[in-house]
Structure 1
């Protein structure tokens, strides 16, 4: 680097417009359009002082893309590629798509599950296939006295809806009261590990 070169020739400048996403990058007398883009995932950056211990310095979630005047400006806020070649088209290849959920259905199922957990019954149950699997799993994990039967499709085949019926299971029979015979009432309970072998 030539120390006699003027600092004006090497000056860098970055300015953004009102929207905060587009701007201009200036290096010396050259000006280039720039855009602030969100990365598809967080990138961790590290530095080291001794080539053996890494110290995390930042989480990077955005980048500034500087382009030629003739290149078109990106029309999206989130960049679809990562920083390295393996992360090319990362948004489509690496991450799941967000499921299309009906918010009314989610609220209704949540209300029914809370009602079931409180000891009540579900109202107007029309269980779609994906949610029926979840409901059966929840009932398997915590039966709580509710029995749900899912009927198959009718032979007429007019609708693909599933009908459900709810039945309360009978309460388990109470254990009969067995009086304590008091056979070992004087001895405290102990485990086999409490008995030590003193013969050694």
Structure 2
């Protein structure tokens, strides 16, 4: 099996081969059925023959048009990068893209999302991914941090630690608190 090349030689110059551009389009079920009919080989009605996606000047909102119907669109950042793969022989997978954004098509009456980042991933296990999977900052008492910093500086200069309690264990180890 030969993998596709990213660069090829043309004359005296190396030209970058065209990389695939991919995006995730999340649509309501009614729109999904219409797109499925349009892409299938079955005959679809004349009104569903046209698809269009355009964005406003802000780059985050726009309009999706299928047939004569217009749907509002939002460009949302995903909580993590999604990798896309392709296969040529049903055996080996080749990575084709890293996808970090999703185009969300909404029903005309739905409200626009408040945040730029979509809280949930594409699959149910990624629900509230940032909240559940990434470490939170620990709650530290600033007075305790200052006391420990002062004690460490005293130890480094050879002085003693103030207000230290020594705990002795049955072994030869002791802990200074």
Point out which structure has higher relative CO (alpha carbons under 8 A, 6+ apart).
Answer: 2
Q: Secondary structure at the match of 1:128?
A: helix
CA deviation map 1:25-75 (0-9, x unaligned)? 011111100000000111111111122211111111100000101111100
**Which of 28, 34, 58 is the aligned partner of 2:67?**
28
Give the equivalent residue in structure 2 for 1:48. 87
Give the equivalent residue in structure 2 for 1:152. 163
For 1:69 and 1:4, the matched residues in 2 are separated by: 23
Which structure's residues are more often strand, by fraction? Answer: 2
The alpha-carbon deviation at position 151 of structure 1 amounts to 2.2
1:94/1:27 CA distance change after superposition, 3 Å: same
- Rg larger in structure: 1
TM-score, length-scaled by structure 1: 0.51
For 1:148 and 1:25, the matched residues in 2 are separated by: 71
TM-score, length-scaled by structure 2: 0.57
For 1:130 and 1:49, the matched residues in 2 are separated by: 62
For 1:50 and 1:130, the matched residues in 2 are separated by: 64
Gaps of 5+ in 2: 1-40, 165-177
For 1:149 and 1:62, the matched residues in 2 are separated by: 56
Gaps of 5+ in 1: 106-125, 154-200
